[in-house]
Amino acid sequence: MSRLALAVLVLLSFAVSALAEKAASPEQLAGKWTYAQTVANDVYVDGLTLEMGPEGLTGVMTYMDGDKEKKDVFSHFEIQKTGRIDFISKRPDGKVARHRGEPSEDGNTIRGSYNLGFGVSGRFVLNRAGVGGPPVLSGRWTYTILDPSGGPGASGDMLLLGDVAGGFEGYLHYSNIDTSPKKVEGTVTKDGVVNFSIYEKKTMAHSGTLAKDGLLVEGGWGEGSPDDGRFTMKKAAP
C-alpha cells in the first residue's frame, strides 16, 4: 500500500551524548535519528542522517513505497524563540510536508504534527538514535480485549508514537464497536512493564508485560485499575 505523506524513520549518523539538551541551533540536531509518523490508519518508521552543509541542516531519507525505492529530502530547520522546531520534507513528486514539533527537556525527542496539504496531515516523533533506554513502541498494534466466555471480544488498531524515555501516545480505532478514536497514553520501562490508559467514557487502566521480542504485550485491564479482564497487543508487520 502506498504511503501518502513522508514515510520516514530518521537514522542520523552521530555519536550521541548521554547529556543531550534542547537544541539552540540546527547544528545541534545533526546526527542519527529515527522518525515515525502516522499516515491514515498506519504508522511508518524510517531512518535518516542529518548533516550540516552549505545549505544548512539537511538529510535524505530512503524508503520503500510498495516495490519502489524513494527518497524524501529534509531541510529548512528553524528553531523558534519558544524552542519549537520547524522543518520541511520534500517528496519525490514535489509535495512538501511542513512540520512543527516540540523538543523534550533532554533534547532526545521531538514530537509534533505535519501537514502535507490537500487534507493530508498527521503526527510525528523524532528520536535521537543511540540513546539507551526503554523500548520504543512506535507502530501499529492490534489491541484485543479477551472475552472470558470465548467470544470475539473487542479489537482494533492502536497507532502509537513512542519516545526513547519510555513514553508513548496515540489513538485506538475499534473495528467492531464504537468507531470514534480513543486517546491512549502510557509508559514502558526498560524491563518491559507497560502501563497505559485508554480514555473512553471512562478511563480504562491497563498493565502488562512486553515480550522479549518486542512484538506482544499481555496483561490486565479495568475501570480505574487493571483487574476486570485480560487484553493483548500485537505489533503489526511493517
Q: Is 35 found in the same domain as 117?
A: yes
Would you say residue 2 lies in a domain? no
pLDDT per residue as tens digits for the range 8-20: 333 233 334 434 5
Higher pLDDT: 4 or 31? It is: 31
Would you say residue 14 lies in a domain? no
The CA R_g of the chain, rounded to the nearest whole Å, is: 18
Mean pLDDT of the chain: 88
* Count of other CB atoms within 10 angstroms of residue 85: 21
* DSSP-derived 3-state class of residue 32: strand
Higher pLDDT: 79 or 5? It is: 79
Would you say residue 187 lies in a domain? yes
Would you say residue 16 lies in a domain? no
Amino acid letter, 138: S
Residue range of the domain that includes 111: 26-128
CA distance 37 to 68: 19
Dmax of the chain from CA atoms?
65
Q: Classify residue 52 by its DSSP letter.
A: E
- Give the start-end residues of each E strand in 23-178: 31-39, 42-53, 56-65, 68-79, 85-90, 96-103, 109-117, 120-128, 139-146, 154-162, 167-174
pLDDT per residue as tens digits for the range 38-52: 998 899 999 988 999
Residue 216 phi, psi dihedral angles, 5° rounding: -150, 135
Q: Is 56 found in the same domain as 113?
A: yes
Q: Is 119 found in the same domain as 144?
A: no
Domain boundary among 89, 107, 128: 128
Provide the terminal-to-terminal Cα distance of the chain, rounded to the nearest Å.
Answer: 11
Q: Confirm if 122 and 24 have CB atoms less than 8 A apart.
A: no
In the Cβ-directed half-sphere of 186, how many Cα atoms lie within 13 Å? 31
Higher pLDDT: 208 or 17? It is: 208
Would you say residue 20 lies in a domain? no
Domain boundary among 128, 148, 171: 128
Amino acid letter, 140: R
Would you say residue 8 lies in a domain? no
CA distance 156 to 140: 10
Q: Provide the number of structural domains found in the chain.
A: 2
CA distance 50 to 83: 19
Would you say residue 220 lies in a domain? yes
pLDDT per residue as tens digits for the range 127-155: 999 998 999 999 999 999 987 777 677 89
Q: Is 36 found in the same domain as 86?
A: yes
**What is the domain-level CATH number for residue 222?**
2.40.128.120
Q: Is 76 found in the same domain as 158?
A: no
Q: Is 105 found in the same domain as 71?
A: yes
Q: What is the pLDDT of residue 66?
A: 86
